[in-house]
Structure 1
Amino acid sequence: MTFPLVPLLIDGVYGPGATGATIPVINPATEEQIADLAHAAPADLDRALAASARAFAVWRETTAAERNAVLVRAAALIRDRLEEIAAILTAENGKSLAEARGEVGFCADATDWYAEEAKRAYGRVIPARSPDVRQITLREPVGVALGFAAWNFPAGNVTLKMAAALAAGCTIIVKPSDETPATAVAIGRCFTDAGVPAGALNIVHGVPAAVSEHLIASPIPKKVSLTGSTPVGKLLQRLAADTMKRCTMELGGHAPVLIFADADIPHAVERLVAAKFRNAGQVCTSPTRFFVARAVYDQVVAAFVERARQVQVGDGATPGSQMGPMITERRRAAIAELVEDAVEQGAKLCLGGHALPGKGYFYAPTVLADVPETARVMTEEPFGPIAAFTPFETFDEVISRANALPYGLAAYVFSQNPGTIARAGAALDAGVVGVNHTSVHEAETPFGGVNESGYGAESGIEGLDAYLRTKMMTEKFL
């Protein structure tokens, strides 16, 4: 599958950048070029900023009902174009078509959710201390927003930012990953075709550091939302501090899995294998550190290896493929280094541990057992198809080890004991906790991390709130 030029979207117009500069977009399953990507020059970024400011003056004045109607149409268009968008997503990201379809379906659901929430950005009346005074709060759009999105969910990451900002009455400039830009543009067309006015949504591409520094330095945007790595989040937060932009940071993780002796092991293994090798492990909530009660450790590892051995690896566009490639050769090499280090540190390689031959950045589903705490894979987010197992003895021990890292995005607990579940859920330092399943992000639920996994939330009522500010008005009756 190949595409024409992947354009910029500035002030309602899809087209090339001012200089005509492009870079290739590569299919990670075939290593073939599938498109040229237009890169924005500084002049293009300035046009996007100016267009966003002009459009904000208009869009903020639309009623919640009008914004709802536009977003409802956008959600319908996403559903109508689901197969087309999913095929683009698979071609540039590599994940299976089944996963791509699910992701695009989530985008439609999230857009519908924000369409409804646009009508519920309520203020309140605060009882005054004097009978001739009225105190009210108003919820207002914060202004022009900037959205920076990672490549691992190229549809979902951009949709959450677009839909939330527009529902709140903000305008937004989105910078998707240069690895997966065509998906973002396809989603953007659903919004513009639905009636989002020129300038309210802009999509730009280019060298990440240059684009982010230029946009964030401008006084026009008032909000930054990032889905990306912790190092990038720290950098953008520092840049945003100069103009006091508010931020939402959805950053990396290193999710612990706690499997207690009373867990339903077949159920746990089935859920965890699916979650671990989803998108080849390139998921910020992917289970990565598997802590298993000593009494069932050997049983769990053996069952996990047997089930992981059945995962079908291949081009996501091929029927039956369940796990696609890594996004780049650089990422595949990084996974190989983590596996090599773990084995050198004493871990047992139970499955995989090697790149697959032929074209594409494929790496075999990999299971490591008896992984020592000194192995890099236990402290560095692998972002790949590695499951690292280690046993534990006591509840306090496993909680301490699970919370030992500075990250706190997702964590998982498998147990049938209500007391264990309650204690673990309260003790784990994470923004989202999945108990006996691994689905921790829906359109209606808040999603975000703590500590070095970031702050703020996307989705749910919290996702809309991130694009609103509060104004208090006090009035004395004369």
Structure 2
Amino acid sequence: MVLKKMFINGEWTDSYSGKTYQVLNPATNEKVADVAYGSTEETREAIKAASTAFNPWASLTAKERSVYLTNLYELMIKEKESLAESITLEMGKPIKEARGEVELAAEYLLWNAEEAKRVYGESLPASHASKRLQVIKQPIGPVGAIVPWNFPISMLTRKIGPALAAGCTIVIKPASKTPGSAVRFFELIEQINLPKGVANLVIGSANSIGDELLSNPAIKKITFTGSTSIGKKLISKSSEHVKKVSMELGGHAPFIVFEDADLEEAADGAIISKFRNSGQTCICLNRLFVQTSVKEKFESILVDKVKSLVVGNGMDENTEMGPLVDDAALEKVESHIKDAVQKGAALLTGGKVCEQKGLFYEPTILSNVNSDMDITYDETFGPVAPIYAFETEEEVILAANDTEYGLAAYFYTKDLGRSIRVSEQLEYGIIGVNDAVPTTVQAPFGGWKQSGLGREGGHQGVEEYLETKFLSIKY
């Protein structure tokens, strides 16, 4: 089995210590790959490479940078199957979902290839006849990016796409669970002949690599997707050099079903939102609020649909839900369900580990859940949908907003007035109205409150990698 290496200054690199580690397939517990395990020195070398490459890269025209991103997009589409397989083997996602992730990831490159040519400045009216006032945008500098395991390719391109489009260079640390997906992506980067040092990949110790990215003054911006607890630490450590940060952090999405909703459509949406990627997504349904008058009927529809889900190895084309990523994830699901049932929740379906080999848990529906249960405030990150009853619109808005998170929220209704009222009152960065899959490359992605800072996607995404400079020219 070939050793997966780091990519620093255009070269494939072993860890300087020679240390490696194993990546296991959560569906089979079999070894996927041996991977180089880097630390501070490799990160420092990658930062040096990114710093050296920055000025030449930033000096290219937007069109020239755009060509590299477009070529990378085309190569990703060509290599979709190999990229998808790397995702599924490392973290268990069904292969059909993995293909969809690769397609979306490639679209982020294509979108930002075009956005590179849309970084506009301004000409301002001057207060004096002999002055000319201008505002220009310039790349912030070398970027440190930390990528999660649950969407290991799309989260990578959501960072590298706008960074390179803006004229920044980048050092990327993938999640330790999914390094092979990043390695496969960097093999494509090598094929498009991206200038050395523009994009670098460092794999290994999260603490050592993260600390170097945060403490090294050459890194001007940190971009991170992951838990709120880790994000807070990164923000705090970034303050030493006042680095710019963008953070897409935890979520605890409410999914509201009003009595006037199409219940079949709402149930389908709930399944897509909750059980996609085995519930291991930051924007997935975590609290399912159903109006009392339709609760019993909706539960019946939902349970029937959930019972038909095919759970299995993600490499099987028929699989609709794969394994959890590791033992800790499985334990958290079990803990939340046990706590809820002990406190009075009703188990409608699921509720136990699957009999097959691997880290599989049955898709689970809990009813009669209340605010005394851990699952109400703690993000589960697993295939469990807790159902809460509500009576009024005002009541459910208060309950939906009763969390420190504010990433995504969903609700189903046929009432146009309600769609406007509820959308405006929910304290979330992303709202899906009768839509369980709102994410798209042309729209901003990010959260309110403790769900993050900044946005990825849309024209807002490139702005996160730019500095604004005001010019006052007197003649």
Letter in 1 for 2:307: R
- Give the deviation of 1:5 after TM superposition: 1.3
Give 1:404's aligned residue.
402
- Give the deviation of 1:160 after TM superposition: 0.9
Give 1:382's aligned residue.
380
Tell whether the 8 Å contact from 1:148 to 1:174 is kept in structure 2 after alignment: yes
Give 2:270's aligned residue.
272
Alignment of 1:241-320 (within 5 A): 241-320=239-318
- Give the deviation of 1:131 after TM superposition: 2.2
Give 1:339's aligned residue.
337
- Give the deviation of 1:319 after TM superposition: 2.1
Alignment of 1:124-135 (within 5 A): 124-135=122-133
Q: Does 1:89 align with 2:87?
A: yes
Q: Give % identity.
A: 37
Give 2:351's aligned residue.
353
- Give the deviation of 1:56 after TM superposition: 0.4
Q: Does 1:48 align with 2:12?
A: no
- Give the deviation of 1:439 after TM superposition: 1.5
Q: Distance in 2 between matches of 1:191 and 1:107?
A: 14
**Which TM-score applies when normalising by structure 1?**
0.98
- Give the deviation of 1:413 after TM superposition: 1.1
Q: Does 1:456 align with 2:457?
A: no
Letter in 1 for 2:379: E
- Give the deviation of 1:6 after TM superposition: 1.4
Alignment of 1:41-440 (within 5 A): 41-440=39-438
Q: Distance in 2 between matches of 1:112 and 1:195?
A: 17
Tell whether the 8 Å contact from 1:11 to 1:199 is kept in structure 2 after alignment: yes
DSSP 3-state at the match of 1:219? coil
1:371-420 residue CA offsets vs partner (Å, 9 max, x unmatched): 01111011100100000001101111100000001100000010000111
- Give the deviation of 1:15 after TM superposition: 2.4
DSSP 3-state at the match of 1:87? helix
Letter in 1 for 2:419: I
Letter in 2 for 1:412: Y
Give 1:35's aligned residue.
33
Aligned length: 475
Structure 1 segments unaligned to the other structure (5+ residues):
none
Letter in 1 for 2:433: V
Tell whether the 8 Å contact from 1:255 to 1:411 is kept in structure 2 after alignment: yes
Q: Distance in 1 between matches of 2:39 and 2:408?
A: 38
DSSP 3-state at the match of 1:221? coil
Tell whether the 8 Å contact from 2:146 to 2:174 is kept in structure 1 after alignment: yes
- Give the deviation of 1:133 after TM superposition: 1.1
Letter in 2 for 1:82: K
Q: Distance in 2 between matches of 1:319 and 1:100?
A: 11
Tell whether the 8 Å contact from 1:159 to 1:187 is kept in structure 2 after alignment: no
Letter in 2 for 1:242: E
1:174-197 residue CA offsets vs partner (Å, 9 max, x unmatched): 001010011112122223322321
**Which TM-score applies when normalising by structure 2?**
0.99
Q: Distance in 1 between matches of 2:39 and 2:397?
A: 49
Structure 2 segments unaligned to the other structure (5+ residues):
none
Letter in 2 for 1:452: Q
Tell whether the 8 Å contact from 2:39 to 2:208 is kept in structure 1 after alignment: no
DSSP 3-state at the match of 1:445? coil
Tell whether the 8 Å contact from 2:246 to 2:455 is kept in structure 1 after alignment: yes
Q: Distance in 2 between matches of 1:210 and 1:41?
A: 5
Tell whether the 8 Å contact from 1:292 to 1:391 is kept in structure 2 after alignment: yes
Tell whether the 8 Å contact from 1:350 to 1:368 is kept in structure 2 after alignment: yes
Letter in 2 for 1:417: D
